Each structure stands twice: as structure tokens, then as C-alpha cells.
Amino acid sequence: MAANTASALVIPDSLLAKEATEILREYSTDLLFNHSIRVYLFAAEQGRQQKLRFDAELLYVAAAFHDLGLTKRFSSQNERFEVDGANAARQFLTAHNVPEEQVQIVWQAIALHTTPGITHHMRPEVALLYLGVGLDVLGKGFDQFPSEVRDEIVARYPRKRFKEDFIQAYFRGFAHKPGTTYGTVNAGVIERYLPGYKFPNACDLIAASPFPDSE
Amino acid sequence: MSEIVAGIRVPDSKLAREATELLREHGTPLLFAHSLRVFLFGALRGRHRGLQVDHELLYVGALFHDFGLTLKYRSRNHRFEVDGANAARDFLRANGIDASVAGVVWDAIALHTTPEIPWHKRPEIALVTGGVEADVLGDGLDEIAEEDRASVLTAYPRVDFKRGIIQAFADGFGYRPETTFGTMNTDILERTHPGFRRTNFCDLIAANPLGD
């Protein structure tokens, strides 16, 4: 058991991983830093439990960059924040001469980390990032996750006022482009925190399509 | 002799013809015409954008994209998009198509209702969504010349489409409402299934058993 928990706290320490950590520390907050590291540790532990073969370094870079699209440095005016983070990771990995196929995996993992029901059919790194986020943010898989490993991860990277502060940081990360959350889980955040903002309903969009039915 | 609509040749390889037959057998007339239009509008938008597109893959993606709404291919607990994606992958693999190629079609179908993401991926993936968005929402019609649009509609008319497609969605995933969480498909259920209430992400965060 002790060996198990010790390995649960290991973070990749390649040059690439260290640089990703530095970028995460420089551009994000303590809240997002600790969240991102927990996401990696939760994800990697679930990968080991499910006996998945995954590239720990790629998973780590994906976790480190997954919320950077919420930050001033990487946020765009009109793309989903997930795409901003994915693009930032792509730029980082390409600059480090990582092969395109692996860059794609990280891009996809970040771009789809809020899309339900798709990622568990994809590559382990893509599936695991979603699971790591799901456990830290929503508690998905809480009952199956070993509690002593969980306690150790949370002790090292605490969830201080996490629920409230995370929603606030999350909202601020895309409040300037609420339309990009339409049709995603993030629409729920805009609905709660941007009173008066009105999303379309797909039925109305279909009815209002400039494309008429045939005679 | 192959069919040409708006300058686009409708694929008629053995693979394409089998896909067409499956759609005719298991889809409805509404889904049949819709799926053909999705292919044609996707191909036309690809031509407008000067993209290199594998039309056979785009065709299989377009024809299977709503298979997850059909009685034959729908599951109890997957998103309908995933059911269609799985059906297309099984079909392609059974026809000896490489796993990586089948994976492109899987992504194209699985992501066809996920905003923005497909546009950053391969043309065949982007254009299944591009065809769907044009036919269902009227997006990107400026990329399709008036007379091309008319040719497509003559070949595959939009008969009672606006009402009919909403009904097809409602029937296709209304019995598994939880699979629509976090997608625009919740809009359909909100209108067509009285009593359906969409889950708010903030409430899920608050209910996380992992405390602060």
C-alpha cells in the first residue's frame, strides 16, 4: 500500500514536463496549478488501476495545459477555452519537436476534456484526462478511487475553497465570450453567473434557418 | 452510371453503394435525403474552401451520421452520435478498411454535434459537421452557390424537414435523456419532452463528494 501511494505522487520530470510545469506556474493561479496537478495524478492513477498503457509525459502536458485557455495569456476572443488550451499545448509541443501524431493526442485530450460521452472511446491519454478532470471537478469515479491515494494527493495539492473559487475562475475565463459555451456543459455556468444572457434553443435555430422546406 | 449533383460525383464504389443500401434499409426517407444533402453540402463547402477531401470517407461519414437515431443501430446508454460512429467503424472494418482510416470516420460522426472542435480536424471530419450545420441550421450557406443549392434540393428535397428532423431527434434519444447532458440535444428534449429538466454543471460541482 505504501509503495502504491508513493508512486501515485510521481510527476514526470523530463525537460518537457518541467517546462510545462513552469508555464503552468507562471500563467495560472495557485488554484488552477493545484487543480491541474491533481487532474494528472488522478488520471494517471486511474490509468494504472485500469491497466491502460499510456504515455505519462503526454498525459502530464495535457493536464498542465488543459485549463490554460482560461488565462489571460492564452485566452482568445472567439474560440472555446478548451480549443485555446489545446492550441497552446500544440504550440508548446511543436516548438519542442514532438511528432505531430503525439501533438494530436494532446490537442484532442484538451479540446474534448469537457465533452461527455466521447472520450472513453478514444486513446488512453484522451480518456484519462477526461477522467482526471471528472474526478477533481465532479467527483466522478470517487467511490472506485482508493481513498488513501486520494487523501495523499489532496494533502499535497490542496482543494482550498475549491468548489466556489473554481467556478468563479472558470466563469471569468469565458465570460467575455459566452456564445462559445453554447451546446457544452459550460452553458450551465453562464446561465447561473451571467444573468440575462439568453442562449438560443436548437429548435428555434432549426425553425429560423434561412433554408426553407421544399414545396 | 454515377450520379452527379451540383458538380459533385456521388461516390458509387462497392463500399459507398453498400453504405447507401444500409441507410435506405434502416433510415427513414427523411434521414435518407438529409444524409445525402449532408454529403453534398459538405463536399460543396470543401470545394469552396479548396480542401483536399476523400469523398468516399466523407460519404460514409455523412450517410452513417444519424444511424444512432435508428431502431437498428441505437443503444440504450451511449450518445446517439457514438452509436452512429460505432456502426460506421464496424462497417468499414468489416470491409477491410484500415483502423486509422475508420477512426477518421468515427471522429467525424461522434463529434458532429460538438461545437467548434471538428473544424480544427481533418477535412472529412470538419465537413460532416459542415454539411450537418448547413442542412439543419442553415450555417455556411454563403459557401454554396445558389444554383448548387437548388440542384441539391431538386435531387434530395427537404420535405417537411424542419418539423421532421426535430421529431427524429426526439424519438432517437428521448428514451435516454441522460446521454444528452452537456450537448445541444438537451434543447430538443426540453421542447419535446415535458418534464425533462436539464442538469446544470454548477450543481454537479456543488454535489462533488470530494470536499474542499
- Quote the minimal CA–CA distance from A12 to chain B in Å: 25
- The model's confidence at residue A8, banded by pLDDT at 50, 70 and 90, is confident
- Closest CB to A202 among B187, B208, B212: B187
* Percent of chain B with pLDDT strictly greater than 70: 100
Q: Are B76 and B178 in contact (CB under 8 A)?
A: no
**pLDDT at position B1:** 60
- Quote the minimal CA–CA distance from A208 to chain B in Å: 8
Residues of chain A contacting B111 with CB distance shorter than 8 Å: 115, 118
Write the pLDDT tens digit of every residue in A169-204. Answer: 999 999 999 999 999 999 999 999 999 999 999 999
Residues of chain A contacting B211 with CB distance shorter than 8 Å: 159
The reply to whether residue B210 touches residue A135, judged by beta carbons under 8 angstroms, is yes
Average the pLDDT over A115-140 and give the result. Answer: 98
With vertex at residue B81, the alpha carbon angle to CA A167 and CA A184, rounded to the nearest 5 degrees, is 15
Q: ipTM of this predicted complex?
A: 0.95
pTM of the model: 0.96
| Residue from B132, B184, B199 whose CB has the most chain A CBs within 10 Å, to mutate | B184
With vertex at residue B55, the alpha carbon angle to CA A123 and CA B133, rounded to the nearest 5 degrees, is 75
Write the pLDDT tens digit of every residue in B37-69. Answer: 999 999 999 999 999 999 999 999 999 999 999
**pLDDT at position B100:** 96
What's A171's DSSP letter?
Answer: H
Q: Are A119 and A135 in contact (CB under 8 A)?
A: no
Domains of chain A: 2-162 (1.10.3210)
Q: What is the C-alpha separation between B208 and A135, in angstroms, rounded?
A: 8
- Quote the minimal CA–CA distance from A19 to chain B in Å: 26
Average pLDDT along chain B? 97
- Quote the minimal CA–CA distance from B89 to chain A in Å: 12
Which is more confident, B150 or A6?
B150
Average the pLDDT over B149-171 and give the result. Answer: 97
**pLDDT at position A5:** 54
**pLDDT at position A215:** 76
Q: Are B140 and B211 in contact (CB under 8 A)?
A: no
The reply to whether residue A214 touches residue B161, judged by beta carbons under 8 angstroms, is yes
Searching chain B, which residue's CA lies closest to the CA of residue A205? B137
The reply to whether residue A80 touches residue B209, judged by beta carbons under 8 angstroms, is no
Q: What is the C-alpha separation between B182 and B19, in angstroms, rounded?
A: 30
Write the pLDDT tens digit of every residue in B75-104. Answer: 999 999 999 999 999 999 999 999 999 999
The reply to whether residue A167 touches residue B190, judged by beta carbons under 8 angstroms, is no
Quick one: cell of A206? 432549426
- Quote the minimal CA–CA distance from B17 to chain A in Å: 26
The reply to whether residue A183 touches residue B115, judged by beta carbons under 8 angstroms, is yes
Q: What is the C-alpha separation between A165 and B31, in angstroms, rounded?
A: 46
| Residue from B36, B187, B193 whose CB has the most chain A CBs within 10 Å, to mutate | B187
- The model's confidence at residue B211, banded by pLDDT at 50, 70 and 90, is confident
Whether A212 shows a pLDDT value over 80: the answer reads yes
**pLDDT at position A6:** 56
The reply to whether residue A136 touches residue B210, judged by beta carbons under 8 angstroms, is yes
CATH of B4-168, one of 1.10.3210, 1.10.10, 1.20.120, 2.40.160: 1.10.3210
**pLDDT at position B212:** 87
Average the pLDDT over B176-192 and give the result. Answer: 97
* Domain range summary for chain B, segments of one domain joined by +: 4-168
Searching chain B, which residue's CA lies closest to the CA of residue A155? B212
- The model's confidence at residue B2, banded by pLDDT at 50, 70 and 90, is confident
Residue type, B127: L
**pLDDT at position A2:** 41
The reply to whether residue B212 touches residue A163, judged by beta carbons under 8 angstroms, is yes
The reply to whether residue B202 touches residue A167, judged by beta carbons under 8 angstroms, is yes
Q: In terms of C-beta density within 10 A (0-12 exposed, 13-18 middle, 19 or more buried), how is residue A77 classed? A: exposed
Q: What are the φ/ψ torsions at residue B199 (nearest 5 degrees)? A: -75, 140
Residues of chain A contacting B113 with CB distance shorter than 8 Å: 183
Q: What is the C-alpha separation between B83 and B69, in angstroms, rounded?
A: 8
Average the pLDDT over B122-131 and give the result. Answer: 98
Write the pLDDT tens digit of every residue in A66-85. Answer: 999 999 999 999 999 999 99
- Quote the minimal CA–CA distance from B77 to chain A in Å: 10
Residues of chain B contacting A112 with CB distance shorter than 8 Å: 114, 117
Write the pLDDT tens digit of every residue in A128-175. Answer: 999 999 999 999 999 999 999 999 999 999 999 999 999 999 999 999
- Closest CB to B210 among A142, A183, A210: A142
